[in-house]
Amino acid sequence: MPDELGFIGVGRMGAPMAGRLLDAGHRLTIFDVSDAAMAPLLARQARQARSVKELASSVETVLVSLPTPDIVRATALDAEGVVAGTKVKTFIDLSTTGPRVVATIAEGLAKKGIAMVDAPMSGGVAGAEKGTLAVMAACSPPLFEQVKSVLGVFGKVFHVGEKPGMGQVMKLANNLISATTMAISSEAIVMGVKAGLDPAVMVDVINAGSGRNASTQDKFPRAILPRTFDFGFATGLMYKDVRLCLEEAEAQQVPMWVGSAVRQLWQFVNADRGPTSDFTTIVQCIEKWAGVEVKSRR
């Protein structure tokens, strides 16, 4: 894998990942619509491209970390997008884009001889900063061998399939489970609080028993019990991931009774708290209905 890479989208997730590439000794050309987002990386000697096309004309490998499927598609396939670059050979999508959009992107890029690596990640901003993300790569085995050292900078790399889109299915399955544990843990703990239990004690008991999950182990202690609601993942993005998962399940004719209920709840939270709110604010919706507050007495 060449030492010189391009990175598009250096926001909350992209910035720490790009920083880790610099730490690993890679030369990096970056592009983002926000000058402020690029500034810290430019201070570390990253190069700035003036456009997506310019970036894709200066490096062979382009990584993208972008918020929505439409933005990823446009970045890849628009007339001034990656597909118009004169040097790029490999496009690595680190975003949660959805399998059907990824298939469209891969097909469009292939017409210009650009190979696609579908490589969404799980682990949040903290994982991006620490290099402990789970990377779910889907591409041909030879291409995986070429890119796995770069992806390994971000965390533990899994080759989940040979077809772009399979990484997306893996990510959506993971995030549906994450969204579900956040929803059901919030409901259960609000119920306990209304019955008179201390939520901090509840979290300790759950984490020592069979109910423990990533939400009770991480989200509640870090962002809900202290009432900071700053875990670092937006409600709008969580709702998007659940929606994409349910759309894929419907396309595959797989029933999702629980998933449908989870989608409805996240749709409400997205409307009530706003898409830019932290996704841990889901508990505030349930608190409001129950007339209690999840706050430790300690």
For 86-132, what is each residue's pLDDT tens digit? Answer: 999 999 999 999 999 999 999 999 999 999 999 999 998 989 999 99
120 Cβ contact partners less than 8 Å away, ≥ 6 residues apart: 93, 94, 95, 96, 97, 136, 167, 168, 170, 171
Chain centroid, CA 230 distance in Å: 16
Mean pLDDT, the chain, whole residue set: 96
CA–CA gap between residue 208 and residue 3 (Å, rounded): 45
CA–CA gap between residue 274 and residue 271 (Å, rounded): 5
Catalytic residue list? 171
Q: How many domains does the chain have?
A: 2
CA–CA gap between residue 250 and residue 82 (Å, rounded): 31
Q: Give the per-residue pLDDT at 41.
A: 98
For 285-297, what is each residue's pLDDT tens digit? Answer: 999 999 999 988 7
For 205-231, what is each residue's pLDDT tens digit? Answer: 999 999 999 999 999 999 999 999 999
Q: Give the per-residue pLDDT at 297.
A: 77
Res. 2: pLDDT tops 70: no
Q: Is residue 72 part of a domain?
A: yes
Strand extents, DSSP E, 83-154:
90-93, 115-118, 121-122, 133-138
19 plus 54 within the same structural domain: yes
44 plus 111 within the same structural domain: yes
65 plus 195 within the same structural domain: no
Backbone conformation region of residue 25, classed left if phi is above 0, alpha if psi is from -120 to 50, else beta? left
Q: Give the per-residue pLDDT at 245.
A: 97
pLDDT: which is higher, 3 or 211: 211
Q: Is residue 298 part of a domain?
A: no
pLDDT band per the 50, 70, 90 thresholds, residue 234: very high
11 plus 91 within the same structural domain: yes
Mean pLDDT of 188-194: 98
- Longest alpha-carbon distance in the chain: 65
127 plus 181 within the same structural domain: no
For 48-61, what is each residue's pLDDT tens digit? Answer: 999 999 999 999 99
Strand partners, 121: 135
135 plus 184 within the same structural domain: no
Q: What is the CATH number of the domain that holds 276?
A: 1.10.1040.10
pLDDT band per the 50, 70, 90 thresholds, residue 3: confident
Q: Is residue 179 part of a domain?
A: yes
pLDDT: which is higher, 78 or 124: 78
Q: Is residue 296 part of a domain?
A: no
121 plus 47 within the same structural domain: yes
CA–CA gap between residue 205 and residue 220 (Å, rounded): 13
What is the domain range of residue 278? 169-290
Q: Give the per-residue pLDDT at 296.
A: 82
